[in-house]
Structure 1
Amino acid sequence: MTDHAAERFRQRVAGTLDAKTEIAARVARAAAAGRLSDEPPPGATGTRGSVYVKDLVDRSVVFVCRREGGELVVVTLWEQEGGIAPPRVPKRYTDVLKRDDERRKDDI
């Protein structure tokens, strides 16, 4: 699991001290329940080879994972629009971050 995924979880889902352990448990339970998909959630840019795991506890949260051997490595998480509750961080803020990332790529 990446530090980025753990930080996003702490910021958006739960202010837990051990985010990585909680994420691993949530992803394992959701995967065991068959909540895996190769299709990105609406509004997300799909990265080839990504696996999307929908959380059982907070159904608006989708963990973005990559397969590594027989395991899933959590890269980041995504909050779906139009779920039970609105995303904790509105899309307009994440869209600004995407534009900033694109500008940095152009500068390189």
Structure 2
Amino acid sequence: MALVAVTDHAAERYLQRVRGALDPKLEVTSRVSRAVEADRVEPGERGAVLVRDLEDAELVFICIEDVPRGELIVITLWEGGEDPRVPKRFTDELRRAARATPRSWV
């Protein structure tokens, strides 16, 4: 089994799509580990690794591989299919709002 780490961004995206997770990072780690063991892995763009969830085939975890550490890092996730839980127009609006908000470096 590969060592799996989850970014804060991926955990937030998971919570947007799968409600009721008490510890989203632990849940994502578990789901990705099981999917990797079941060989639900495919190459993505720019060196990414796509891991398709076992419970929901439309849920895809986008990962990068840290080869020296032997770690798979979940950086985000997306939903395929005709009827995603979070419509693209909503996630696009969140992205626009984030760009418009000034960042504080305090």
Q: Identify the TM-score tier after normalising by the shorter chain.
A: 0.7 to 0.9
DSSP-derived class of the 1:21 partner: helix
Structure having the higher strand fraction is 2
Gaps of 5+ in 2: 1-5, 102-106
**Could you say which structure has the greater relative contact order, defined with CA pairs below 8 angstroms and 6 or more residues apart?**
2
Equivalent position to 1:30, from 35, 45, 48: 35
Does structure 1 residue 79 correspond to structure 2 residue 84?
no
Does the 8 Å CA contact 2:16/2:86 hold for their aligned counterparts? Answer: no
Q: Distance in 2 between matches of 1:16 and 1:99?
A: 26
Identity of matched residues, %: 52
CA RMSD of aligned residues (A): 2.0
Which stretches of structure 1, 4 residues or more, deviate above 3 A after TM superposition? 95-104
Aligned equivalents of 2:26 and 2:55: distance in 1?
15
Letter in 1 for 2:84: P
- How far apart, in 2, do the equivalents of 1:27 and 1:98 lie? 25
What's 1:89 paired with?
86
Q: How far has the Cα of 1:78 moved from its partner?
A: 0.4
